[in-house]
Amino acid sequence: MSRPIVYFARHGETDWNRERRLQGQHDIPLNALGRTQASRCGALMSGLLAQTGQPIGAFDYVSSPLNRARETMELMRGAMGLEPAAYRTDARLMEMSFGRWEGFTYAELQTREAEALAARERDKWGFVLPGGESYAQLERRVQVWYESIERDTVVSAHGGVCRALIALLGVADPAAASMGDIGQGVVYVFADGGMSRHE
């Protein structure tokens, strides 16, 4: 039996994204570009959902509880002609905790945490960040959420959550899922064991 389709948008840009700072579970708001990206995702979602033949209000809408994801969801829903606040949040969709690394850039960490960074490069998926989580732990958290959904779902969450879905659903192995860019202002569709990107 096929699983529900997931329509996934990473939150729009924040100033910390622009500065390449690790955000993790810090609650950093969208910047002006991020708000534009979120509205663009709403237009993309409208087009994708219209192709299903179902009313766009028939889908489930769920966001990470972090404000950057919630604002993205609200701007998306507004662009889709839906009541912005009529969605739910799920803490299992929060970004991976980067622990004591949150707020730092990788360049800063190279001088402060060189040994731990080297260990992470050897096992990026399994490495537990100091005071934080690993991608493997995040994947287990996202799996519990994914197994709970019962209908096609629109999600606003984070880059790490998207990577977890990529590994969980077998789109790529964990090592490959941990690499590469998860775009902002684009929509990923997880369906039938695959993933497509729309922009």
* Distance separating alpha carbons of residues 52 and 36, to the nearest angstrom: 25
Contacts of 14 (CB under 8 A, 6+ apart): 23, 28, 29, 30, 31, 34, 68
Q: Which helix (H) or strand (E) holds 160?
A: helix 159-168
Known active-site residue 198:
no
Q: Which of 11, 74, 133, 158 is catalytic?
A: 11
Q: Which of 95, 102, 133, 139 is catalytic?
A: 95
- Greatest alpha-carbon pair distance for the chain in Å reads 54
Known active-site residue 95:
yes
Kindly provide the residue ranges of all beta strands, DSSP E only, lying in the chain, ordered along the sequence: 6-10, 60-63, 88-89, 153-157, 187-191, 194-198
Catalytic residues, which ones?
11, 95
